């Protein structure tokens, strides 16, 4: 019997984890500049947080992992980050202490969909939510942040695609227009889209099966049904982007994949070798009813998310050298069992000085220990031999210059700290 990982999941091995850590640190550093603080929510919520009557996207209706716990409560592993953040915002009454709450999250989500490169059933996202007000300048700030983040990662050809779904009235008028438009084509569409015509015609526009159907390509756009107020709002968002000299493209049919969006929606693309048309790295939009649907006051918000697996694939494809695995500062080579306790004491002293130090624990001979030290790119070897130890000394060798010196055991830490600082 072989035990393998669950389909659609993956392991991050020790040789790869430094890339994840570097990306997470980059996220924290950049979002700190924008005065955005981290928020952590559970990976499971009561199912009602996601399975709302207003949310009929495939992600919620087809792809969630739902289960009953031992108390017969219906739970769902989170398929996306926003709803859990809003649930916590409402439950903890964060709206009472601050007019605007700007938070970010990093963590795993779960969707039951067909696994492919860069798309898994357990996947990591980082996202940002700005909750508490509706303001075109805030919409622009979130777009600028998403754009700035991808630029700072070192990816090229970064572009913003943006659209407006308008306010509630605009969206309702557009939904009705889509329903009337698609009805004559009903029999030509896939089974899911035939149901969507009545329930949620907006979702037809991002159907993967019917995306090239002539009716979908020629469908009316949200722009055709914007109210005067919605047009003015969208115009102001664009003016803020112009003020920041952020180039963008208006994408009339961009609707994004979730039903809670209204007004501004956007995506961030980059030119990535080998990604073809699938170069969208992330996106998001404004939501007006999500806070009130989850029991809070009538407050709007805007957010976006990026898939971290996709970002790492993009950085690899573009050969962006954004992270370096930390090398060993020192490796202690021990000749005899009697000196292993000396090595233990020495390692602890070195680590107290924040030096990255290690030794061998598998009983290898000198050659094997040397090989392991070099494989770990140790900058210095500390060679603990019996003769040197009798004199209170160790041999310290620089692996780059191959220069070797005898150093008092009591001075090894000071010696290495000074050498490494140079």
CATH number, position 53: 3.30.930.10
User: What is the spatial distance between Cα 201 and Cα 187, in angstroms, rounded to a whole number?
Assistant: 14
Same domain, 259 and 404: no
CB 307 within 8 Å of CB 125: yes
User: Which CATH number characterizes residue 359's domain?
Assistant: 3.40.50.800
User: What is the spatial distance between Cα 200 and Cα 219, in angstroms, rounded to a whole number?
Assistant: 15
Same domain, 274 and 339: no
The residue out of 317, 343, 376 marking a domain boundary is: 317
**Cα Rg of the chain (Å, integer):** 28
Same domain, 259 and 283: yes
Q: Is residue 313 part of a domain?
A: yes
Q: What is the pLDDT along the chain (422 residues), one digit of tens a residue?
A: 678 999 999 999 999 999 999 999 999 999 999 999 999 999 999 999 999 877 767 677 789 999 999 999 999 999 999 999 999 999 999 999 878 999 999 999 999 988 888 789 999 999 999 999 999 999 999 999 999 999 999 999 899 999 999 998 898 888 888 888 888 888 888 888 888 888 788 888 877 788 888 888 888 888 889 999 999 999 999 999 999 999 999 998 888 766 778 899 999 999 888 776 668 899 999 998 899 999 999 999 999 999 999 999 999 999 998 888 889 999 999 998 889 999 999 999 999 999 999 999 998 999 999 999 999 999 999 999 999 899 999 999 999 999 999 999 999 999 999 999 98
147 lies in which domain range? 17-167+227-317
Same domain, 366 and 245: no
Same domain, 287 and 402: no
Same domain, 99 and 26: yes
What's the confidence (pLDDT) of residue 257? 65
Report the predicted TM-score, pTM, of the whole model to 2 decimal places.
Answer: 0.89
The residue out of 268, 286, 317 marking a domain boundary is: 317
Same domain, 162 and 46: yes
Q: Is residue 344 part of a domain?
A: yes
Sequence-separated (6 or more) residues with CB below 8 Å from residue 233: 136, 164, 167, 263
Q: Is residue 105 part of a domain?
A: yes
User: Rounded to 5 degrees, what are φ and ψ at 112?
Assistant: -85, 90
Same domain, 306 and 282: yes
Q: Is residue 145 part of a domain?
A: yes
User: What is the spatial distance between Cα 326 and Cα 323, in angstroms, rounded to a whole number?
Assistant: 9
Tally of domains in the chain: 2
Q: Is residue 3 part of a domain?
A: no
End-to-end CA distance of the chain: 54
Please give the structure tokens belonging to residue 240.
Answer: 């803020």
CB 57 within 8 Å of CB 257: yes
Cα 82 from chain centroid?
Answer: 13
What's the confidence (pLDDT) of residue 56? 67
How many other CB atoms sit within 10 Å of the CB of residue 392? 11
Strands 357-359 and 380-384: unpaired
The residue out of 285, 317, 349 marking a domain boundary is: 317
Same domain, 241 and 122: yes
Same domain, 405 and 277: no
Same domain, 129 and 231: yes
Same domain, 246 and 393: no
DSSP class per residue in 27-78: HHHHHHHTT-EE----SEEEGGGT--TT---HHHHTS-EEEE-TT--EEEE-
Half-sphere exposure of 69 (CA within 13 A, CB side): 10
Q: Is residue 179 part of a domain?
A: no
CB 241 within 8 Å of CB 140: yes
Please give the structure tokens belonging to residue 260.
Answer: 């809670």
What's the confidence (pLDDT) of residue 278? 65
Q: Is residue 129 part of a domain?
A: yes
Q: Is residue 213 part of a domain?
A: no
Cα 6 from chain centroid?
Answer: 21
């Amino acid at each position: 019997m072989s035990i393998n990982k669950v389909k659609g999941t993956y392991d991050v091995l020790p040789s790869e984890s430094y890339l994840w850590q570097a990306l997470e640190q980059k996220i924290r550093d950049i979002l700190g500049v924008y005065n955005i603080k981290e928020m952590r929510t559970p990976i499971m919520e009561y199912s009602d947080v996601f399975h709302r009557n207003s949310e009929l996207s495939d992600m919620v209706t087809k792809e969630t992992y739902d289960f009953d716990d031992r108390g017969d409560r219906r739970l769902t592993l989170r398929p996306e980050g926003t709803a859990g953040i809003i649930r916590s915002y409402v439950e903890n009454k964060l709206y009472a202490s601050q007019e605007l709450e700007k938070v970010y999250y990093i963590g795993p989500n779960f969707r039951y969909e067909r696994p492919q490169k860069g798309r898994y059933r357990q996947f990591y996202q980082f996202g940002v939510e700005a909750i508490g007000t509706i303001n075109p300048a805030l919409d622009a700030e979130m777009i600028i942040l998403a754009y700035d983040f991808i630029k700072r990662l070192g990816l090229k050809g970064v572009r913003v695609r943006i659209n407006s779904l308008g306010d509630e009235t605009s969206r309702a008028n557009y939904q009705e227009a889509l329903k009337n438009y698609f009805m004559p084509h009903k029999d030509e569409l896939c089974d899911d889209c035939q149901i969507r015509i009545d329930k949620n015609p907006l979702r037809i526009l991002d159907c993967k099966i019917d995306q090239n159907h002539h009716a979908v390509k020629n469908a009316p756009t949200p722009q055709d049904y914007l109210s005067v107020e919605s047009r003015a709002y969208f115009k102001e968002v664009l003016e803020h982007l112009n003020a920041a000299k952020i180039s963008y493209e208006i994408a009339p049919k961009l609707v994004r994949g979730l039903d809670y969006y209204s007004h501004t929606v956007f995506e961030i693309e980059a030119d990535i070798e080998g990604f073809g048309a699938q170069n969208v790295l992330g996106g998001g939009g404004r939501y007006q009813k999500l806070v009130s649907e989850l029991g809070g006051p009538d407050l709007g918000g805007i957010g976006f998310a990026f898939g971290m697996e996709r970002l790492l694939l993009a950085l690899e494809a573009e050969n962006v050298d954004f992270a370096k695995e930390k090398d060993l500062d020192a490796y202690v080579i021990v000749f005899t069992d009697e000196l292993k306790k000396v090595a233990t004491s020495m390692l602890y002293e070195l680590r107290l000085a924040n030096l990255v130090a290690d030794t061998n624990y598998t009983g290898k001979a000198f050659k094997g220990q040397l090989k392991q030290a070099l494989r770990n790119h140790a900058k210095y070897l500390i060679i603990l031999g019996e003769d040197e130890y009798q004199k209170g000394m160790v041999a310290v060798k620089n692996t780059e210059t191959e220069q070797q010196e005898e150093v008092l055991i009591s001075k090894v830490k000071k010696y290495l700290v000074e050498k490494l600082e140079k």
